[in-house]
Amino acid sequence: MQVFLPPEIGFCFGVKRALRLVTNELKKEGKIYSLGDLIHNPQVIEDLKRKGVVFVSDLSQVKGGTVIIRSHGADLSLIRRAKEKGLKVIDATCPYVAKVQKIAKFLSQNSYRIVIVGLSTHPEIKGVMASAGERKTFVVKDPQEIKKIPFTGKIGVVVQTTESLDNFSDIVKNLVKRGKECRVFNTICKVIRRRQEETKRLAKKVEVVIVVGGHNSSNTSQLAKLSQSMGVKTYFVEKEEDLDSVEWQGIKRVGITGGTSTPEELIVKIRNRLGQFLVA
Ligand code: SF4
């Protein structure tokens, strides 16, 4: 049996940056608040808790000290309120996410109504909506939802940095038929695009793909869906033990991949675990 890994695994630039900012601050302060999960990976969150990061869901729970804005970004008014409360704010918003916020604001200021392709409940989308002014935006996840868009005319389009390129293309293809003017910005992060392309390549040459990462991670879920859509047997796992019930007999080629919030060490552990099954 052969095990294949894509050329790029482990944390992306935005996640590494957020973790570096937290680590530096912990050295100075010993304790730091995070509004929501800093990144979507359960093992990393547990590790951060042990090191002194306190996760809260609302700014009212932070009485003093330092608060970090996660890589998914936040509503800018929240950052302003945190500063007004006298908190030290460390902004770990990924520059790619900040760019989507900026484009949404630009479109809004130039009289476009904005379609955001992505998941309305995701923190990144909430931040982008806030940048544009919520009343001017409409979020779609599925091409079927296009008919629910309550506006025509000048339409600007941005997309969640972790969205599937195929889904985005489908939505845009149908959307351009609606507006008088349709201005489209492909804001899918380039790391995500590479991971999606590599996952497609991997799925074509193996019988089983193991996608490793947090079930709450949007980009990891997209990789699992993408692999499944290629017709290959796909397991979406968070930890090594999740593989124990899988029947490996007769499988000759396995691929392992992971999202941008999945630690490289975890992928290596999964590969090693797989080695044990093969020997057994
Ligand atoms: S996946 Fe892309 S947009 Fe998201 S944090 Fe990483 S580099 Fe930034």
Question: Is 247 annotated as catalytic?
Answer: no
Report pLDDT for 193. 95
The dihedral over CA atoms of 39, 274, 251, 220, expressed in degrees to the nearest 10, equals: 0
Report pLDDT for 136. 87
| Same-domain status, 198 and 275 | yes
Residues with CB under 6 A from ligand 1: 12-15, 71, 94, 96-97, 161-162, 189, 191-192, 219, 260
| Residue 280: pLDDT band with limits 50, 70, 90 | very low
167-198 tens-digit pLDDT:
999 999 988 887 689 999 999 999 999 999 99
pLDDT: which is higher, 258 or 151: 258
State how far the Cα of 86 lies from the Cα of 68, in Å rounded to an integer: 14
| Same-domain status, 241 and 270 | yes
| Same-domain status, 196 and 273 | yes
Q: Which of 124, 163, 198, 238 is catalytic?
A: 124
- Average pLDDT (89-100) is 96
Q: Of 36, 67, 93, which closes a domain?
A: 93
Pocket test for ligand 1, best of 44, 162, 262 (most atoms within 8 A of CB): 162
CATH number, domain of 174, equals 3.40.1010.20
| Same-domain status, 88 and 21 | yes
231-279 tens-digit pLDDT:
999 999 999 889 888 888 889 999 999 999 999 999 999 999 888 776 5
Neighbouring residues of 129: CB distance < 8 A, sequence distance ≥ 6: 104, 116, 137, 139
Average pLDDT, the chain: 93
Number of domains into which the chain is organized: 3
| DSSP one-letter code for 136 | G
By residue range, what is the domain housing residue 169? 96-188
Ligand 1 atom with least separation from CA of 190: 2
Q: Of 127, 159, 188, which closes a domain?
A: 188
State how far the Cα of 115 lies from the Cα of 175, in Å rounded to an integer: 9
CATH number, domain of 40, equals 3.40.50.11270
Q: Of 93, 121, 148, which closes a domain?
A: 93
Pocket test for ligand 1, best of 191, 198, 223 (most atoms within 8 A of CB): 191
Is the confidence at residue 34, as pLDDT, over 80?
Answer: yes
| Same-domain status, 34 and 49 | yes
pLDDT: which is higher, 245 or 53: 53
| Same-domain status, 107 and 131 | yes
Q: How would DSSP label each residue in 162-194? A: TS-HHHHHHHHHHHTTT-SEEEE-----HHHHH
Ligand 1 atom with least separation from CA of 219: 1
Report pLDDT for 278. 63
